[in-house]
Structure formats: C-alpha cells, structure tokens
Amino acid sequence: MAASTSLRFAFVLFWISVLASTALSDLVISKIDRRVDLTSQIVRVVSTLKVENRGHDTVSEVLLPFPDIQAKNMAYLKSSYHEGKGKGKQSAISLPVTLVHPEGMPPELTFYSVSLPRGLGKGDSFTLDVLTVFAHSLKPFPAEITQADAQLVVYQDSAYYISPYEVKVQTLAVRLPSGRVESYTKYPSTKLVDSEIKYGPFENLPPFSYIPIAVHFESSYPFVVVQELEREIEISHWGNVQITEHYNLVHGGAHIKGGFSRIDYQSRPPMRGESSIRHLIARLPPRAHSVYYRDEIGNISTSHLWANSKMTHFEIEPRYPLFGGWRTSFTIGYGLPLRDFLFESDGKRFLNTTFGCPINEIIIDHLIVKVVLPEGSKEISATVPFITNQWQEVKYSHLDIVGRPVIVLEKTNVVPEHNMHFQVYYKFNNLALLMEPFLLISGFFFLFIACIVYMHTDMSISKSSASYLAKQQLDEVRATVQQVQNIINRVLSVHNKLETSLRDLSRTGDVQSCKAVRKAADGLFKDLAKELKPLLGFLQSSPQASQIWPKVEELVAKEKEMQEKLMAKHSTVVDSFEKKHAKRDVENRVASIEQKLAILRQEVDELLDTIDDF
C-alpha cells in the first residue's frame, strides 16, 4: 500500500514537471532551509525563504504551492518575518496568507499567496518564515502490528522544494524521534546524524523540480486522534463560565492484531505496547474549579489534578490503554471564574477564551465549539483568527423563558496551533439578569395567592345542610367573641392609664391632670359599655355560643367590679392628697381595695385566656 502511494506521489510530480511551463521569472528564491519535525504524530515543516526580485516590477506577493495530497492534510499555515537584522531582530510579525488559483500552473497543486508588507523593489531581497502543520501525514506501515511490535511509520515528501520560482540553494533537514530508522531514500550527499536526516544542499534548480523521498522510521509517540469533540462554553453572569467537553477518541496508529494480554502489558518493556495511549495531559486555565471526568458509565477516578497560579494541570487515564484502532469516549467539565474571561468595552461585552482543546498534541478531526450566552443577549458576533463555519441555535436550560442563544463554530482538522484566543461579542442589559429571581418570586407568590383564594372561597357543595349552617353560625360567634375580647382589652388599657395617673400624682403632685384623666376614663368607660351591649345581646341569643356565654358573662361582670373598685380607689387617693393626709394613711385606706383589685385582675386574665382558646 505504501508502494502504491509513493508511486502516485511520483506520478503527480512527474506530471508537474512535464507540464511546467514558464513559471514566474520575476522572483528567485536565493536560499531556502526546510526543517521537517516528525517527532510527534503531527508533522511540522518550518521553511525559511529568502526571495530576491530579479525582475523590474515591484513584487508584492510570494506564491507557495503544495501538492494536493499534502494540501488535503494541511491543518495550519502561517507566514511571518522578522523586522531588523542580527541583534536588532524583533519578534515575528505575521503576514496575511490567502488561497489563490493562478492560471497557467500545473494541475494538482494548491497555491497560497503570502502578501509582503512592502513591495519588493528591483534587486531587493526579503526573508520570510513559513510554518505548515500537517495532520494524518504519517502512515503507519505495517498497518497492523502485534502488542509487542514497535510502531513504524512512513513519511513521504520531495527533497527539492516545489516552487514556481527558481531556487538557488536549498537544504532539507528531517528530524526523527530517537529510535530506529528502518530506511530512508538515499541520494548523494544524504547524511543521517543523531536522528536527523540532512538532504542537500542542492543548487540551481529550475522551478517545479522535485525528487520523492520516503522515510520509514519507528515512532512510539501515542497517536491520539479525536474524531469528534464538542466543547460547550456556558456563560452565567452570576459569576461562572462552565466548559463541558465531549470527546470521541481513537488511536490513529497501527492497528493491533493478535490479542491483548494484560499480563504482558504490565510486565516486560518490549511487550508493553509503547505506542499505546496510556494517559492524556490537559492544561486547563488557572483557577479552574469543579473539574470532573466521566463517561456514560459514570465517574472515572483515574485522574490527577494539581493547580498552580499559571495553569491547572489535569492528567487523565482512560479506562483501558488504547491500542491501534481502539476507541473511547468521555466527558470533561470544569468551571472558571467569570472575571478572567468576560470583559466589557464600548458598551459591548465579549468573551475571550481559547478555541481548541486543552489536551496537548492531539489531532481533532471535527471540532464544534458552542458558546451559550445568557438569556437576553443581543447582537451576537464571533471573531475567530481562522476560518470556521458559524451558525446560531437556541438552548433551553435552567430558569429559561425564551431560551439561551448559542453561537456554534465548527472546524475540521484542528491541531494545537489552533489553540488561540477568540472573542464573542454581544450586548446584554443588566436588568435582564433580574428575570431569573423574578421567575422564582412569581412562582412562590402564585402559591401564596392560591392559599389566599382557597381561604376566601366557599367551596361547600350544599349551602343549606345543617352542618354548613352550624359552621357558619359558629364562625359568627367566634368573630363576636373576638370583638368582645378586643373591647375588654381596651377597657383594661384604660384601667392601666388610671393606675399610671395615680403614680404620677404621687410623683408630681398634679391633681388637676389626675382629675382630667379620671374624667376621660369615665367617658371612655361609658362608650365601651355601649359598644359591648349589642355584642353581648347577640351572644346571649345565639345557640352556638351556649358554651362560651357563661364565661363571657363572668368576664364582663368581673370587669365591671374592677371598674368600680378602681374608681373608688382613685377618688380616695385624690381626696387624701387634696386633704394632705400622710402617705401611710393613704396606703392603709386603699390596702383592701388593692388586694381585691389584684385578685380580680388575675381572674380576668385567666378568663381572657380561656376565651382566647375558643
């Protein structure tokens, strides 16, 4: 199978060289160094190009072609340059790259165009760096291995850089993981030093020249491929950003044939299956809390979490080690504080968070990022540094009336270089936040209203039955008794006023005010007695009140007695005061009345209590 792919590769390149017409002759690549990194499952190619303008017109773009087979696997392309030379070199400034379709070019090539910051004048040269990341470019060969075998993979490329321009000098360095190199295409001046294969330097090559190379080497790096990842980022303005990630993982390396022996796996090194997936390391943002790791069966306890101020380190082990072709699925969730991710500027709020997944060195075939914004968010837009599919949907969650707007971003072929920050802008009115407690409050209020309605309505079926009428009369009696109680309490308060006036008299000696209080009390007593009369009449006549009537009668009688005695006492004291008798004399006179008053008061209180219980 590898032979047929390499044949196809060579065939394609053959056609390119045959059909290569006069390429663009303005630019010349004076030097290109390519470094291919094959240490992990993701192939990274860093090329440093030095272009020179040999023509007359200013050139503003550089074309980068890739064979279609490679372009299919290309996940990320970035171009940058450094301002200044030598010591004054600053950090890389990125250049815009776009996909173009120029005419007159050989088929089966995909072209990208890098726009230069300033037009390149005649005779000028410019150095730029290009980083290309390929996913699924390493093919396991043999495709099936046993548990004890080492995993061997094949990488195919062209030793000459395929370019529409003439190339003066070029080199290619392929860095391999330390391990066995099964075979590699040897051309004159090819060296293998320290797990690094160096091809070149090749000089003065015409445009679109190629020679195929294939490197067959051992790679025990675990090939973690996530077929489907769904990340849900839920924002709650009450203080939390909750991220939930659903993974569908598969081991993308050589499939395992023969059986899996756990004993062998845990024992001698050669049988251990070095290329199996044993654990995954995720770097969560700092201050992550409530981290969970579970799948459809339940919680998975084989995980380790430790946090420092820069990040939260989360190491998870799947329920079983994954060999080639095996799959697993799980869910990770964690909460983050709101102030690290949500910001406000120019009246709009925006969420600033990373796009990719926190697990390092994995390839994601299909990534869906859903950002769930609180209810009432308007004018939602997302700014992502690369191309994604976007659409909006609605999610119904806790305490929702109309649902929460969700903006969905979709991307295929995602590599760790895509783990950049992206922003989602929206407008939110703070008052909309109060809708949630308002919903709860109205729920509870509805219960209270239901209770009030129940108490106020009369839901008896027959309105003329004896028991219903009896109940009604009892209610009336109760109401009347309560009113009587009310009046008696008012009378007692007048008694208290009289007593206080007597005490004031002994303190201040003001007879006039005392007499005034007495007069007022007299008037009040008369009024209250008048009020009491119809109530007592009703109670006497009502048959339902037969139980309570004697007590009420007793209460009224005792109260009257108290009234009389108190008035007597009052007049005695005032009299003695006017006649300026000695204090001890006064006390002797009212002693007996005081005693009787005390007893009466106690009895009245008891009667009031019993009536209360009715």
* % helix, strand, coil for the chain, step of 5: 35, 40, 30
Distance in Å, CB of 609 to other proteins, minimum: 15
Distance in Å, CB of 153 to other proteins, minimum: 45
Identity of the residue, 447 or 582, whose beta carbon is nearer to other proteins in the bound complex = 447
Identity of the residue, 11 or 396, whose beta carbon is nearer to other proteins in the bound complex = 396
Please report, for residues 29, 44, 70, 111, 216, the alpha-carbon distance to residue 132 in angstroms, rounded to integers and kept in the order given. Answer: 18, 6, 10, 13, 21
- Given a contact cutoff of 8 angstroms between Cβ atoms, the answer to whether 552 and 539 are in contact is yes
CA distance linking residue 189 with residue 114, whole number of Å: 32
Identity of the residue, 306 or 448, whose beta carbon is nearer to other proteins in the bound complex = 448
Distance in Å, CB of 396 to other proteins, minimum: 12
Distance in Å, CB of 611 to other proteins, minimum: 13
Identity of the residue, 486 or 500, whose beta carbon is nearer to other proteins in the bound complex = 486
Segments of 237-376 assigned E as strands: 240-251, 255-256, 280-284, 289-294, 303-307, 312-316, 327-337, 342-345, 348-354, 363-372
Identity of the residue, 287 or 313, whose beta carbon is nearer to other proteins in the bound complex = 287
- Given a contact cutoff of 8 angstroms between Cβ atoms, the answer to whether 188 and 50 are in contact is no
H/E element, 68:
helix 68-73
Identity of the residue, 326 or 468, whose beta carbon is nearer to other proteins in the bound complex = 468
Going by the DSSP 8-state scheme, the letter that residue 356 receives in this structure is S
* SS3 track for 291-308: EEEECCCCECCCEEEEEC
Distance in Å, CB of 406 to other proteins, minimum: 16
> 562: helix, coil or strand?
helix
CA distance linking residue 137 with residue 174, whole number of Å: 14
CA angle 76, 134, 211 (to 5 degrees): 120
CA distance linking residue 186 with residue 194, whole number of Å: 16
Distance in Å, CB of 78 to other proteins, minimum: 25
Distance in Å, CB of 354 to other proteins, minimum: 17
Establish whether the linkage from the previous residue to 142 is cis, with ω within 30° of 0. Answer: yes
Interacting residues of 118 by C-beta distance below 8 A, sequence separation 6+: none
Distance in Å, CB of 157 to other proteins, minimum: 44
Distance in Å, CB of 545 to other proteins, minimum: 14
Identity of the residue, 212 or 285, whose beta carbon is nearer to other proteins in the bound complex = 285
- Given a contact cutoff of 8 angstroms between Cβ atoms, the answer to whether 269 and 216 are in contact is no
CA distance linking residue 128 with residue 118, whole number of Å: 13
Distance in Å, CB of 377 to other proteins, minimum: 13
CA distance linking residue 92 with residue 89, whole number of Å: 9
Going by the DSSP 8-state scheme, the letter that residue 233 receives in this structure is E
Establish whether the linkage from the previous residue to 201 is cis, with ω within 30° of 0. Answer: yes
Distance in Å, CB of 475 to other proteins, minimum: 5
Q: Write the DSSP assignment of 80-117 as a string of letters.
A: EEESS-GGG---EEEE-EEEE--TT--SSEEEEEEEEE
Identity of the residue, 19 or 434, whose beta carbon is nearer to other proteins in the bound complex = 434
Identity of the residue, 55 or 333, whose beta carbon is nearer to other proteins in the bound complex = 333
- Given a contact cutoff of 8 angstroms between Cβ atoms, the answer to whether 62 and 401 are in contact is no
Phi, psi of 365 (to 5 degrees): -75, -40
CB burial readout 127-161, b (16+ within 10 A) else e: ebbbbbbbbbbbbbbeeebebbbbbbbbbbbbbbb
- Given a contact cutoff of 8 angstroms between Cβ atoms, the answer to whether 364 and 246 are in contact is no
Distance in Å, CB of 300 to other proteins, minimum: 20
Pairing of strands 166-175, 196-205: antiparallel
CA distance linking residue 212 with residue 160, whole number of Å: 8
Identity of the residue, 394 or 598, whose beta carbon is nearer to other proteins in the bound complex = 394
Identity of the residue, 398 or 579, whose beta carbon is nearer to other proteins in the bound complex = 398
Distance in Å, CB of 240 to other proteins, minimum: 4
Identity of the residue, 172 or 342, whose beta carbon is nearer to other proteins in the bound complex = 342
Residues engaged in binding other proteins (CB under 8 A): 234, 236-240, 242, 290, 335, 337-340, 342-346, 349-350, 397-399, 430, 433, 436-438, 440-445, 447-449, 451-452, 455-456, 475, 478-479, 482
Identity of the residue, 456 or 584, whose beta carbon is nearer to other proteins in the bound complex = 456
Identity of the residue, 191 or 471, whose beta carbon is nearer to other proteins in the bound complex = 471
Distance in Å, CB of 244 to other proteins, minimum: 13
Identity of the residue, 447 or 466, whose beta carbon is nearer to other proteins in the bound complex = 447
Distance in Å, CB of 437 to other proteins, minimum: 5
CA distance linking residue 290 with residue 237, whole number of Å: 18
